[in-house]
């Protein structure tokens, strides 16, 4: 085992007041290997700016400028994160999701199905159309 030591003691990392974190399970559970660089860049940005509940809202144009990507690349990255179960999105709101195993409810699955192209029952479609899908 390698003995860890600070390489630059003057620049020791401190937890700031507006602290956010990146969950180690992203690596341990294989998300890094399954996501593209663009999706991971968007995820890192969202984790950095979200509040304590994982919520943030940035305009598409602003995200494209900050991440230096096209609108199409941003949409692809967002869809990839939604399909991976890392992020939920409902314009203009993003939610970074907990990585604990989930017990999916019908509305959450319906929202994910719209993005990922999963099969949805006609009952779920009607429920969503009639206002119950939010």
Mean local confidence (pLDDT), 18-33: 88
- The number of folded domains in the chain is 2
126 falls within a domain:
yes
Are 121 and 60 part of one and the same domain? no
From the list 108, 43, 32, the residue with the least C-alpha distance to 74 is: 43
Mean local confidence (pLDDT), 24-46: 94
Q: What residue numbers bound the domain in which 124 lies?
A: 103-134
User: Is pTM, for the whole model, over 0.85?
Assistant: no
Are 115 and 89 part of one and the same domain? no
Angle between helices 37-49 and 71-83 (to 10 degrees): 80
Tens of pLDDT, residue by residue over 76-133, are 999 999 999 999 999 999 999 999 866 555 455 545 545 676 555 566 555 555 665 4
68 falls within a domain:
yes
């Amino acid at each position: 085992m390698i003995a860890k030591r600070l390489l630059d003691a003057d620049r020791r990392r401190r937890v700031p007041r507006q602290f956010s974190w990146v969950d180690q399970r992203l690596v341990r559970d294989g998300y890094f290997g399954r996501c593209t660089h663009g999706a991971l860049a968007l995820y890192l940005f969202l984790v950095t700016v979200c509040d304590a509940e994982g919520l943030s809202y940035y305009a598409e144009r602003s995200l494209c400028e900050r991440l230096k990507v096209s609108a199409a690349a941003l949409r692809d990255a967002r869809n990839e994160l939604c399909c991976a179960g890392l992020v939920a999105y409902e314009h203009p709101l993003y939610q970074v999701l907990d990585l604990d195993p989930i017990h999916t409810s019908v509305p959450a699955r319906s929202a994910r199905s719209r993005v990922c192209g999963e099969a949805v029952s006609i009952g779920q479609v009607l429920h969503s159309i009639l206002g119950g899908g939010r």
